[in-house]
Structure 1
Amino acid sequence: MKLLIAYIQPHALEAVKEELSKRDIAKMSVTNSLGCGAQMGYHENYRGVEFDVNLLKKVRLEIAVNDEFVEAAVESITKAARTGEIGDGKIFIIHLEECIRIRTGQKGPEAIG
């Protein structure tokens, strides 16, 4: 079992969800996030005050999958979110030691579904 954490551009979310759905991956958590990386932000002028915006809007996806779905999930996310520009995002893959479905008490791969 693995936990995929992906940071993507907000405009790519719908396309990523569609690609994941095509591969029967539908369970995920989505959170709005702020972050900085190679994009380095931008300079803005608001009501005569100049300031730097270095925390840019991103979307964080958390997807728990069984091992046989890891590659399909990664391919779906990269296919839908890649523009070739700086700021497309990152995917982190973390080993999940255990998963427990609260409603049924199921454990392990069966709990992920």
Structure 2
Amino acid sequence: MVLIEAIIKPFKLDDVKDALEELGAGGMTFTEVLHSGQPRHKGRSFGDTSRDVDLAPKIKVEIAVPDHLAERIVEAICVHGTAGRNEDGKIIVQELNGAVRIRTGELDADALS
């Protein structure tokens, strides 16, 4: 099993979600986040810090999938999550040690379906 985390532009959310659903992926989590990329110019002050940071609104996609689906999920995010511009986002794939469905106690791959 793997955990796939992707940072995408907000306007690509529906395209990515639809593509993942077509692959049979379920149990996706989408979170609004602020992303700090490579600084190119002075940004705004954040909180009470004296540092300037560039923050852009993004969507974080999280999905745990069996190993055999991972490559297709990553490819779908790449195809449907790009706008062909800088800062399109990133994808991180991590090995997942386990999963538990809280309601039933099902473990690992059974908890993901």
TM-score w.r.t. length of structure 1: 0.85
| Corresponding residue of 1:88 | 88
Match of 1:26 in 2: 26
Separation (CA, whole Å) in 2 of partners of 1:70 and 1:105: 24
Counterpart check, 1:67 vs 2:78: no
SS of equivalent to 1:20: helix
Q: Distance in 2 between matches of 1:94 and 1:33?
A: 20
Structure with higher strand content: 1
Does the 8 Å CA contact 1:31/1:60 hold for their aligned counterparts? Answer: yes
| Structure 2 partner of 1:101 | 101
Change beyond 3 A, Cα 1:26–1:63:
same
| Counterpart-to-counterpart distance in 2, 1:88 and 1:41 | 18
Cα 1:88–1:98 shift into 2, 3 Å: same
Change (3 A) 1:33 1:110: same
**Aligned amino acid, residue 77 of structure 1:** I
- In the other structure, the counterpart of 2:48 is none
Cα RMSD (Å) of the superposition? 1.9
Q: How many residues align?
A: 106
State the alpha-carbon separation in 2 of the partners of residues 109 and 60 from structure 1: 22
Consecutive aligned runs of 4 or more in structure 1 exceeding 3 Å deviation:
38-44
Cα distance change, pair 41–6 in 1 and its aligned pair in 2 (3 A): farther
- Residue in 1 that maps onto 2:54: 54
Q: Which amino acid aligns with 1:25?
A: A
Distance 1:101 1:30, change over 3 A: same
Shift of 1:53: 6.6
